[in-house]
Structure 1
């Protein structure tokens, strides 16, 4: 279905706008930057007009210079204890040219109001959106779970695991979706075509670089545009869930679906199975891979009912668990938060003991920073979910 909203061109930005953007963008440098970002920022009064010309030329011509579409990937060992001889133990960290990030931020600043005003992002997509967070996503989901529980219904919650979802996005499908469903046309669509196509990368490890390799699929890691483009790529998934009257929520590529049902009404689970089957077909057609073995199911309801539900859901090859980690918060089948609270307390005490040993060597300000980084951040994360817990748990 063609979108009735049209975004066909970008506006030129002014020098004051660009100067303000430079103040807030990080000065992280890569081997791709001929001129260090700190030098560009410090000399902006002199070099600003030239940078502005590059940015506005990219926007008006609908093109991204090829030198700004190359990424350097540095493998980072996930944990020091892991074997460096196994590739699976490394996490790829992609670094983009500084000027590429500048242009991306300008584009981001213009498309987000368009998407927001025209409600083009799924209302249940909370990833990387103003006024949304993992906390707001969990508040919505848990509120629905509590409402279902209070009304005497059971709930089947499924956490879908997508394997390297950002890396398998098909550019042609995404561009078609941007044109037909979102409304990007003209030079705006041409810009996204140029931005996605003919990207390259090389791997740098121990100061040794690989040859340049074309990147035919996926979204650029580290780009401010990638999360929002992925959200638009995933738009049809919500339509599938709504067709079967299945509740859902997404945070970027973290997708969860949940289905309240009356205790004893196991037959209604057929609609959930049909929905999941259509989701799997859609994911496959869009080059996204559902990892069923890593996807998790948690059932909220009486134990005898859970057993019957498990037998019905057996063909899914998903793991049924008593508790799951949902966007960093442990949810148990009784919604008691006991395991989550114990996890936070245990982790906080562990780091507190380490900080106590470091205390003699730190200034008060440094000590305060460390405490906030390792203790307060854990206590504050999604703390609105603790409203209503018992005094014993507090």
Structure 2
């Protein structure tokens, strides 16, 4: 990879891409100021970035961050159920944007990131990964075979990245020495200040992890986890990892052969988990066996009773598996997922109904589109072909929403969920067509 080139054009583009609605970081500079002054600042910042890169030194003031804990699922009184999002200085973000643009272009052009990684990559999404996985499992089930899938949980994946392991991998990707030195400085001697409800802690040093909120962090994480994907049939969306093994069946296969095939699946998955566990030990990555999910996909009447072990812990196969926010049953169906999303959307719509008197009809419609409808449409291309009886509850919720909006003109402009599902499915289809087909 050639050294990163900082041009006034690339710096100006990064300045103009700043979101003026975002808050300022530790430097206290509002994004709108830098965006409005982009023509004047671009030449100065270009020289500054070139100097920083040539020396391999990131200014110390750029390595501070305000960390805002964002709640995840679970008990909000438990500190482990919060995701730390870092608000970093804007000058650092601008330089990271230019560096990251060059780095990702190089990695993608030379196909250095595993094809089984779907996170933080242009043209790939969580939906793409789910389509691929469910297609594999459905083929096995429909051909009277079986599939065994394991969803892995990496404890504090971003926050516990071992810097020494990450930095040792950079030269193997062909990154120039200056860039490696700059990234080393970028990760070293960082400090954070936690901000909760306007109250701030003192600055505390951190010596591990890639800060969530930095532009460069996702790419560094991809490089860190990339060699784990060489373990076997394992696919990732960032740190969400799913391994599997399957076989396609034949008609009239004997019960004894089914047992033999299933034992082979368990052995394959255990071998995969052993390799992943070895990778974790080498990179100081901790997996949580208690949060690891296992599901056996089959259409056979005799149950899949054999389960693999992970780090000495037996994994009990469940009737479904949750991957990237979608619940998939052992028959590769989505009935449970649709029921759960219908309940959640109905609950949120109830809140909107009770608060509706405080909003105008147009505002109620906007709240429905922003807070309720997305729950009924996430990855709809996966389950759009579900039986109509499973989709009807979603349609009822939209009709109920139309009554809450209480404006005939606005309600008539609301596209049906069925139409939107068709459009989403067609969009996925056309996005994967090779150029020149049409």
- The TM tier, using the shorter chain, reads 0.7 to 0.9
Give 1:273 deviation, angstroms.
Answer: 1.3
Deviations 1:3-60 (A, max 9, x none): xxxx14101222x433332232223334511433322223334434323332333334
1:99-148 deviations in Å (ceiling 9; x for gaps): 11111111111111111110011101000111111100100100111111
> Can you give the 5+ residue segments of structure 1 that lack an aligned partner in the other structure?
1-6, 242-246
Of 34, 37, 44 in structure 2, the residue corresponding to residue 43 of structure 1 is: 37
Partner of 1:158: 150
Matched, 1:221 2:207: no
Distance 2:82 2:196 in 1: 11
Equivalent in the alignment of 1:168: 160
- Equivalent-residue separation in structure 2 for 1:37 and 1:230 (angstroms): 26
Change (3 A) 1:270 1:75: closer
Residue equivalent to 1:340: 337
Q: Partners of 1:54 and 1:364 in 2: how far apart?
A: 51
Residue 389 of structure 1: aligned partner = 386
Residues 90-169 of structure 1 mapped to structure 2, 5 A cutoff: 90-169=82-161
**Separation of aligned partners in 2, 1:129 and 1:105:** 15
Q: Secondary structure at the match of 2:209?
A: coil
Shift, 1:354, TM fit: 2.4
Q: Find the aligned partners of 1:18 and 1:228 in 2 and give their Cα distance.
A: 19
1:329 aligns with 2:326: yes
Equivalent residue number for residue 242 of structure 2: 256
Of 12, 15, 24, the match for 1:22 = 15
Label 1:177 to 1:80 Cα distance change in 2 as closer, same or farther (>3 A): closer
TM-score (norm 1): 0.88
Which residue does the alignment assign to 1:266?
Answer: 262
Q: Is the 8 A contact 1:74 1:204 kept in 2?
A: yes
Q: 1:237 and 1:45, CA in 2 relative to 1: closer, same or farther beyond 3 A?
A: closer
Aligned-partner Cα distance in 2 for 1:88–1:282: 24
Give runs of ≥4 in structure 1 deviating > 6 Å.
none
Q: Deviations over 1:207-262 (max 9, x none)?
A: 55444332211111111221221111112212111xxxxx2210000000011136
| Cα distance, 1:79 vs structure 2 | 8.1
* Structure-2 separation of matches of 1:156 and 1:43: 56
Q: Does 1:55 align with 2:79?
A: no
Q: Could you say if the C-alpha distance between residues 366 and 254 of structure 1 is closer, same or farther in structure 2, counting changes exceeding 3 Å?
A: same
Cα displacement (A) at 1:166: 1.1
How many aligned residue pairs are there? 377
Q: Is the 8 A contact 1:29 1:36 kept in 2?
A: yes
Classify 1:370/1:66 alpha carbon distance in 2 versus 1 (closer, same or farther; 3 Å): same
User: Is 1:160–1:296's contact at 8 Å kept on the other side of the alignment?
Assistant: yes
| 1:292 shift after superposition | 0.3
Query: Which has the larger displacement, 378-387 or 24-33?
Result: 24-33
1:9 aligned partner: 3
SS at 1:94 equivalent: strand
Query: Structure 2 length normalisation: TM-score?
Result: 0.79
Are 1:203 and 2:194 matched, yes or no?
A: yes
- Compared CA separation, residues 143 and 239, structure 1 to 2 (3 A): same
Q: 1:274 to 1:47 in 2, by over 3 A?
A: closer
Question: Does 2:26 correspond to 1:32?
Answer: yes
Contact 2:18–2:35 (8 Å) recurs in 1? no
Who is 2:420 aligned against? none
Structure-2 change in CA distance of 1:193 and 1:276 (3 Å): same
Alpha carbons 2:63, 2:190 under 8 Å: kept: yes
Q: Could you say which residue in structure 1 is the equivalent of 2:288?
A: 291
Structure 1 range deviating more: 167-176 or 360-369 = 360-369
Give the match for residue 178 of structure 2: 187
CA contact (8 A) 2:150 2:242 kept: yes
Distance change >3 Å, CA 332–CA 20, structure 1 → 2? same
Contact conserved, 1:8 with 1:186, CA < 8 A, in 2? no
